[in-house]
Amino acid sequence: MAKTILETWREKAYSQTANQGDLQRLWADYFETEKNIYAEILANPEEVVEGSVEDLAKKFDTSLDYMVGFLDGINDSLITANPIEEMDAKTVVSLDFDKELLYKNMVAAGADWLYELEQWDGIFDKDKQKELYKEQKKSTTVVNEAKIYPNDPCPCGSGKKYKKCCGKNK
């Protein structure tokens, strides 16, 4: 069975056997391309960009591989996900993205070169950008509950020490 274009991209981009220098150059080049595509679509966020995968690659002046990588990256931020797992070059896709979700996903990915694009200033003011940034960071912060020690007052409100109340048999 032939590989899908997404499988081909992932095999190339996440290769365990490729020369590390070649892989670093691939990713540096890809990230620059990704940044340019986002700058273009964020400049006019109300326009829904649609077309076949190969047409979008031409529109954004990039390779089919990089377009597939871009589609893979943005898919979780789309209002309706594209069928990226089985798409081919002729598959028609849409880049109808949820602005807040896209911004948060960029923050979650640590992609400061994307969430700091100046085009975001035309979509959200600086306060909204800070709010979305904080919401995303807070959503991944693990908060440990305060530890209850044996001689602490029992959290059930009985007034007894924890070890003589709910902490018994633990």
Maximum distance among all Cα pairs of the chain, rounded to whole angstroms: 72
Structure-token match 């709010």, residue found: 131
pLDDT in tens, 51-83: 999 999 999 999 999 999 999 999 999 999 999
CB–CB of 33/65 below 8 Å? no
Provide the residue-wise pLDDT of the chain in tens; the chain has 170 residues. 778 999 999 999 999 998 999 999 999 999 999 999 999 999 999 999 999 999 999 999 999 999 999 999 999 999 999 999 999 999 999 999 999 999 999 999 999 999 999 999 999 999 999 999 999 998 877 777 788 889 989 988 899 999 899 888 65
Q: What is the pLDDT of residue 167?
A: 84
Question: For residues 164 and 154, what is the distance between their CA atoms, to the nearest angstrom?
Answer: 8
Q: Which residues contact 160 (CB under 8 A, 6 or more apart)?
A: 153, 154
Question: Bridge partners of 97?
Answer: 78
Q: What is the pLDDT of residue 170?
A: 58
Question: For residues 95 and 46, what is the distance between their CA atoms, to the nearest angstrom?
Answer: 11
pTM to 2 decimal places: 0.80
